Amino acid sequence: MSEESQVRAFYSGKNFFITGGTGFVGLCLIEKILRSIPEAGKLYLLMRPKKGKEISERLEEFPKNPIFEKLIEKETTDVFKKIVPVSGDVGQENLGLSPQDRELLINNVNVIVHSAATLDFQESLRPTVKINLLGTRRVMELSRQIKNLKVMIHVSSAYVNSYLTEAHEKVYEAPDDAEKIIALIENKNDEELLQLEPKILKSHPNTYTFTKHLAEHEVVKCADLFPCTIVRPTMIVGSWKEPIPGWTCSKVGPQGFLMGASKGVVRRLPLATQNVADYIPVDVVVNQLLVAGWHAAQSKSGLSVYHCSSSTCRPFTWSLIELSVNELLHAYPLKNAVWYPHLKFVSSLWLFRLSAIFIHFFPAILLDTLLRITGGRAILFRLNKNVWNSLSRLERFIFSEWKFYNPNTLDLCKQLNKTDRELFFIDISTLVWKDYFTNLLLGVRKYLNNEKESSLPAARRKDSVLLVVHIVWQIFIIGLLWYAFAALAGLTMIQSAWVAPAIYMLYSLL
């Protein structure tokens, strides 16, 4: 007879308040609670109208989301009645809550999961302070007022300490005084803030890591009042096991460039293939949030910090799958691919920029021209331009390597009984990265590129056609450059025949 789940028993009958519930982590968290903790109480979701849709309309779309397919197979859509939308916004005073809704939360909530944040590495200081820092302060102010709060779970990021190459599971000294930063955004205009930004950030690479670091200290202030836990994921990627291997709705990180590579649009990627890239599956993150909350709630107050990471316990480097990436792209091609997929990693930004001119921009101009002629939307050149412009800000994350030590997480694993180790798995020691990336590519194909498994035969036929087009294109480019060289040198094509293989060799190096 199996042991009872201690984690599930704790959350039984507990009402949640969740911010960021419509995001990548938030959706996975809601699905996990509804499927694995059916005895849980209500899930109050902080939501705001978006794209002209009221929060009730946005909630009606939940059952249509592919992440809930497995849940709906075993439950009716009545299970979604547990979700209670609450109108608000972490970026507004008092979370934008009405007095009635605030009172509802104060009287009924037992568990808070604060996941809402702006994740844009290129965002300016004002919006990141309003959402990441002040948003967390507002959530903590609400937490203080809740009458029967059992635990507060804060979703941070391992990269709040990215100014260090090695980081531990503790809250490091604040990078600046929060009140001073808040005063600056209230009293300075956008241009003044932009000029001050480098001085403010100091060793922080962007406003995201800076404001999320400050946000952790808002949680620390409440640690003597009720149990608090901070979970710091690294780069969050598609699911490992649940609810479906490879599920994702995020276009950030490897999911995004696999999406572009499948289409044949992303063909070169700046990467240090020998560096450890710290990726963590979203289902592991969600499990760790719930397990960390259960463990923290065993005390009446206090703060625990966990790295949800792989760099020191199951490290991944792109060299592990470098040779098999293109095999996977052609084993599971897209029917809507626009060019023959071929992904190559380059070791520096300058080499990537040089490659991009020939490999990304020239084909983009050709394809955009064809799209305009056929009445389509020409976006490829603009997309490549946006990538080009963002690289300077991303360089530190592309070519740096971090070690995020996680002894607290490893110890947490040991404290789970057998049932909870299986139901709320946070141990990634058995994760096989090659298998994981096969499932991730299939997930990207299905959930980001919206292609069904039944389209594979047609996609493979198109892949063969695109190979022929790709070869013809290469011959055309080499021939054009050969002709241009001969004309400039005053030689015939035959006299300059040696140029063709030389151009091909150079072209293949890009």
CATH number, domain 6-251+276-318+400-424: 3.40.50.720
Phi-psi region of 152 (alpha: psi -120 to 50; beta: other; left: phi over 0): beta
d(CA 381, CA 400): 28
Q: Is the pLDDT assigned to residue 508 strictly greater than 70?
A: yes
Q: Which residues pair with 114 in a beta bridge?
A: 19, 154
Q: Specify the pLDDT at position 158.
A: 97
Q: Indicate if the pLDDT at residue 1 is higher than 60.
A: no
Distances (CA, A) of 88 to 95, 149, 224: 6, 20, 27
Interatomic CA distance for residues 180 and 184, integer angstroms: 6
Instruction: Spell out the residues 6+ positions from residue 300 whose beta carbon is closer than 8 angstroms to its own.
Output: 226, 227
475-494 burial: b if 16+ Cβ within 10 Å, else e: eebbeebbeebbeeeeeeee
Residue spans per domain, the chain: 6-251+276-318+400-424, 452-510
Split at pLDDT 50, 70, 90, the class of 234 is very high
CB 10 within 8 A of CB 40: no
pLDDT band at 155 (very low <50, low <70, confident <90, very high): very high
Residues 296-347 have pLDDT tens digits of 999 999 999 999 999 999 999 999 999 999 999 999 999 999 889 999 999 8
pTM score, whole prediction: 0.93
- The model's pLDDT over 371-414, given as tens digits with 9 standing for 90+, comes to 788 877 777 788 777 777 777 677 788 889 999 999 999 999 99
For residue 392, give every residue at least 6 positions away whose Cβ sits within 8 Å of its Cβ, in sequence order, or none: 349
Q: What is the pLDDT of residue 104?
A: 97
Model confidence band, residue 165 (pLDDT cutoffs 50, 70, 90):
very high
Per-residue confidence (pLDDT) for residue 505, from 0 to 100: 86
How many helical (H) and strand (E) elements, i.e. helices and strands, does the chain have?
Answer: 21, 13
Kindly report the length of the chain.
510
User: What is the pLDDT at residue 16?
Assistant: 98
